[in-house]
Structures are given as C-alpha cells and as structure tokens.
Structure 1
Amino acid sequence: MKFRRTLLGLAAAATALGMFSTGAMAQAAYKPEYKMSLVLGPPTPWGQAGKIWADLVKERTQGRINIKLYPGVSLIQGDQTREFSALRQGVIDMAVGSTINWSPQVKQLNLFSMPFLMPDYAAIDALTQGEVGKDMFKTLDKAGVVPLAWGENGYREITNSKKPIKSPADLKGMKIRVVGSPIYSDMFTALGANPTQMSWADAQPALASGAVDGQENPLFLFTVLKMQNVGQKFVTTWGYVADPLVFVVNKEIWASWTPADQAIVRQAAADAGKQEIALARKGLVEADKPVLKDIAAMGVTVTQLTPAEREAFVKATRPVYDKWKPTVGADLVAKAEKAIAARQK
C-alpha cells in the first residue's frame, strides 16, 4: 500500500512537473515583440485602431504580449495589396487591415466595394455586426488568418482639382487615382473617368504635379493630409462604398498563446474596434457634419449630392454591380441586401 502511495505521489509530481514545463514552454514561446501592420499610422482613426489595440493588449497581459506598430505597410515595402499574403505566411504577426486591400486574395471581401450597396452607417453595421459579418469571419479563417473584430476606414468620397462633380458626365475624361482592386477600375470606367491604380505613396506627388486629377478616400484623410495643398479643391460626398477594417492575427502566432491570452487579445480587439469606429465617424454623423465645414474652411468647394443626383451614379454603376455579383457570391450579396433592407435606421 505504501509502495502504491509512493508511485501515485511520483506520478502526481511528474504530472505537475509536466504541466509546469508545458506552461513554461508556452511562455518561453512568446516573442519579445509582435509586428502589427497598418496602412496608416496615428493620427488617423486607422492608425489609432492599432495603437489602442496594442496598448490594451500590453496592459491586460501585464506585458506578456508586446506589439510594435508598422504603419505605411513598411513590412512589405509599402505594397498594401501584399499585406494579406504576408500575414498568412507569417511575415506579419497581426494587422488591422482593409477589406479593399485584401479583396484580391479574398474575393468575398469585394462585397463592401459593390457600388452604392450601403447607403448609410446603419447599413454598414447591419453587415459587419450581423450574419454577413460572421460569414466573412468564417471565410477569413478558412483563408488562413484569425479574424477578431471589425473597425472602419469610412465612406470613400471623391475629390479633384478641376470642378464640382454632380453627375457622371462631370467625371468624363478625368484621371482618378484608385486602389489596386479591379472593381474600382470597373466603376470609374463605367462613369467615364480614366482610373489609374497606384499606391498612396505614389498618388500624392501625382496629385501635386497634376498628373492625376483626383482621388477617392475617407474624408479624415483629406483633413489630416491637407489635400487642398496637392490641388484637391473640390470634394463630392456620394458615399459610393465604405471600407470596413478587420483586426486579425496570424494563425501560428494565435496558436502559440494560452487560451487566456487569446481571450484577452480578442476582447481588446473588440474594444479597440468600437472606439475606432466612433473616431472614424466623428464629425460626419452629426446633423451639421463639422468635418465638411472644416474642409470648406480650407477654401475647398464641398458638394453634397441630392437623392436624384446620387441616383444617376447608382444607375451608371449598376452594370458593374451586376458583373461583380457572381464573383462576390450571389447568395452572399442577396443576404447583404436583405440585411440592409431590414436595418433599423
């Protein structure tokens, strides 16, 4: 009996030692620093998303997980269209990424770039916070990353150096810088413009020299970068697409963390996402839209389309919508349309 108790004691000790070793190995496997990729840095809402997330994770893990921000997609030489592949391959540990930039690798993400699908912020929320958002996260997980939360880059409005844009005819022949996603080239071609794909780093000197007439981006970027100084004297708010952001982690990195730390990182992403969405919408959801007033005060002509004027753009881009529906997935588009129709405004 005594011998058996001794054996049981030894077994318990071995188990405890094994558990300690496993825990120690897991802890030892943590990297001293994790690399987070961002296209934009602070003071933009996008950059703030990364900073808030990193700060919350460091605080809540008592420094076990330290994250360094790499804005300007500097980990991949500034090529934002390569970010998702680099994340999946482990070149990047984690990211707050754009659905537009990742859509060449994950075709379903083109949903958010379907022209004039989302008429208001309630429509965006109906998608990201509902069943469509859950479907997107399953798709991203299958594509090789761990998605945790949604953020927002905002509605993309059009600016130019030539004249107010009130109708598709006003865009005819204009050279417009677009992101490197084919649906954007299709949309601006349908509107009679001459779309030119280039990185944002290349776009700024092209706008300043007049080689490119205009561009489309969220309005916070206009104020942060003072785009009136690169010839952008006209702004039209048309809300043709919005760009949700996604907080993700590389799968191997995720698996290296304890379940407790995974839960902390997930909750921190959700908390950061909520804060960042509020930052991205600030000045645009209020009745007097102070951001538009700030832009007008810079000597810029701000045009807000009437419903009838906007409808002309919707009609002109409808063939692009229909063309891309099979690529995105007809069932997914139908589910999105249904969710938006049922939204609470």
Structure 2
Amino acid sequence: MKALLAGLALAAMVAPAMLPGKADAADYKAEYKLSTVLGKPFPWGVGGDRWAELIKEKTGGRITVKMYPGTSLVNGDQTKEFTALRQGVIDLAVGSTINWSPQVRELNLFSLPFLMPDHKAIDALTQGPVGKQLFELLSTKDVVPLAWGENGFREISNSKRPIRTPDDLKGLKIRVVGSPLFLDTMTALGANPTQMSWADAQPALSTGAVDGQENPLAVFVAAKLPTLGQKHLTLWGYVADPLIFVVNKEVWASWSKEDQEAVRAAALQAAAEEIAISRKGITAADDSLLKDIAAQGVEVVQLTPEQQKAFQAATRSVYDKWAKQIGPDLVKAAETSIAGAR
C-alpha cells in the first residue's frame, strides 16, 4: 500500500508537465538562433537584438536567444532565409518582406511601385486587415508571425548625377535585392539593375562596379554610403519594406503557453521600438537625419508631387503586371485601406 501511495504521489507531480500544450523548460534548447540581414547599429539589428534581450527578460531566462546578423546562418544569401526558417535551420527571424517574397508572392505587395505614399499608409496595411490576412497566410507556412517592424521607405542614391526624372536613371547601374519585381521596376525606368546581396553591394559601390543603390535612409547613414561615392540622394519613397518578427512553428510549439505569450509580448515591444528608431529624423516634424546627410556633402533631392507622378506613370505597367500575380483582391484591399488612412 505504501508503494502504491508513493507511486500515485509521483504521478500527481509529473502529470501537470505532461498535459497537452504544456512544455517542460528542461527540454528547451540551451540557445535559439535569431537571423537578421543587418546588425547593429542599423535599426533592423537593434530591433533583433532588443527582441532577444526582452525574450530572456520576459521568460525569466528560460529562453535564451542569440542573434546572427548578416544572414550568416544561410551564408549571407538573404533570399534563402525564409526557407531555412521553415526547415528549422533558423529558430527565429526578423525578416524582410522583400527577401521573403520569392517564397511568399503576396509579400510583393509592399514592393509595388508607389503604392504607399507615407507612413500612415504603411500603418494602414500592417496594422489593419491586410496585415492580419498576411499573418494568417504566413501561419500556414511553418512559421508563427508575431509583430510588424519596419526597414523603411527605400530612397535612391548614386555617384553620377541627381535623379529628378525617369530619364535621369537611364543607363545607371543600380544594385537591387534578389526580387524580380525590383528588376522589372528599374528596367522600366531605364536603369541597369544589378542583383546582389548587401554584403557584396558595399564593395561594389566602393569600386564603382555599380553606380547606385536604393535603401532606407537609416541604412544609408549607418552604412556610411556617402564615403562610397553616393553623393546624389533622391527622396522618392517608391516602396517601403516592413519587417516581420517570426518564430519557427515547431520551436513555438515546444514552448509553454506562458513562454509563447512572453515571446509575443517581447516581439510587439521590440517591433514598436524598432519602428520608432527607423522613422527618427526623417519626418516633417524632425528632419535631423536629412540635415546630417546633407552635411556630409550629399545633394538631397526631394521630388515634388508632379515629379513623382512621372515616375508613377513610368512604372504603371509594372504595378499592373505584379498586381495580378500578387492577387487583385489583396491589392484592392490594400488600396482601400490606404485611401481610408488619407
């Protein structure tokens, strides 16, 4: 009888840990791998690092995350990051909608030329029905999306001349990411798009192998692009690049409900902080970053609405072509959300 009672007592202690949906922290990995394209001091890397820090804090140290910038977990090929995340090579990521769009065509939405005129438009998409729909889609692809971050509007620079009209782009070698949509857009404008990773782009700019690039202003400054010959910068806001904080689905399922909610809360907080950093100094209320860029000898061109319309007209065929591939209903929902925000 004593042996029976002892056995029942032991079973009672063990049973809670065996309930469905309750993970045992003892089974957690000693360290989880978080992938980003950019590290600190870029806002992207700051956001990833902050997420890792908050996860450890909010889980009481049960989950420890190490950030691997430069997409080093996939040998620097940022277009392979999402596949590696699905396969479990990567546990967590703060990823770019652009880099993941080859595997998730709907994410090309954010790269439609001149879809989003301002930050209100980005927020209308990511924080509204469109963002929810995209998260539901991603949830079917072996990942758990938790929060939207932001790399920012991609502005264009080059070493040759100011860009004020589509004709000014003709013949310029412009580095672009590995997305067919970007290739189509630059080709429509008469440029010579050259696809390469960001790791390869910086030496290519330095040697003059390419003339220019397009990236958010925070990247322009942190990467010290004025020192790589990028003396002509045009603010045209032709596309924006939201970031997504995600966890591999199997990794997510291995955590307790308590820790899942802690990781989610950490993602939401880190994303909000990262967005604030990415927008700092580039608004009408605070243009300090733009002034810093100009002080480095860079000619900054701000397109007028009329000038921007010329670029829109030149890329309209690209917009229409890709809207069909992305999904007309999704694009229409995005246009409606943006119109409502204005």
TM over 0.5: yes
- Structure 1 counterpart of 2:81: 83
- Structure 1 counterpart of 2:270: 272
Q: Does 1:223 align with 2:214?
A: no
Secondary structure at the counterpart of residue 342 of structure 1: helix
Q: Count how many residue pairs are aligned between Structure 1 and Structure 2.
A: 340
- Structure 2 counterpart of 1:18: 15
- Structure 2 counterpart of 1:127: 125
Q: Distance in 1 between matches of 2:209 and 2:295?
A: 26
Q: Distance in 2 between matches of 1:177 and 1:10?
A: 68
Secondary structure at the counterpart of residue 110 of structure 2: helix
Measured against aligned partners, the alpha-carbon deviations of 1:277-302 in whole angstroms (never above 9, x if no partner) come to: 00000001243511111111000100
Q: Distance in 2 between matches of 1:47 and 1:255?
A: 26
Secondary structure at the counterpart of residue 133 of structure 1: helix
| Aligned counterpart in structure 1 of residue 136 of structure 2, from 120, 138, 144 | 138
Q: Distance in 2 between matches of 1:54 and 1:42?
A: 13
Secondary structure at the counterpart of residue 234 of structure 2: strand
2:105 touches 2:326 (CA, 8 Å); kept in 1?
Answer: yes
1:194-273 matches, within 5 Å, as: 194-273=192-271
1:54-133 matches, within 5 Å, as: 54-133=52-131
Q: What residue ranges of structure 1 are gaps of 5+ in the alignment?
A: none
Secondary structure at the counterpart of residue 60 of structure 2: coil
Secondary structure at the counterpart of residue 162 of structure 2: coil
Measured against aligned partners, the alpha-carbon deviations of 1:98-122 in whole angstroms (never above 9, x if no partner) come to: 0000000000000000000000000
Q: Which structure 1 residue ranges, 4+ long, deviate > 3 Å from structure 2? A: 6-13, 20-25
Under a length normalisation based on structure 2, what TM-score does the superposition of the two structures give? 0.96
Residues 20, 154 of structure 1: CA spacing in aligned structure 2 closer, same or farther, 3 A cutoff? closer
| Aligned counterpart in structure 1 of residue 295 of structure 2, from 294, 297, 301 | 297
Q: How far 1:25 sits from its partner (Å)?
A: 6.7
Q: How far 1:19 sits from its partner (Å)?
A: 2.3
Residues 77, 18 of structure 1: CA spacing in aligned structure 2 closer, same or farther, 3 A cutoff? same
Q: How far 1:8 sits from its partner (Å)?
A: 9.4
Q: What residue ranges of structure 2 are gaps of 5+ in the alignment?
A: none
Aligned-residue RMSD, C-alpha:
1.8
Under a length normalisation based on structure 1, what TM-score does the superposition of the two structures give? 0.95
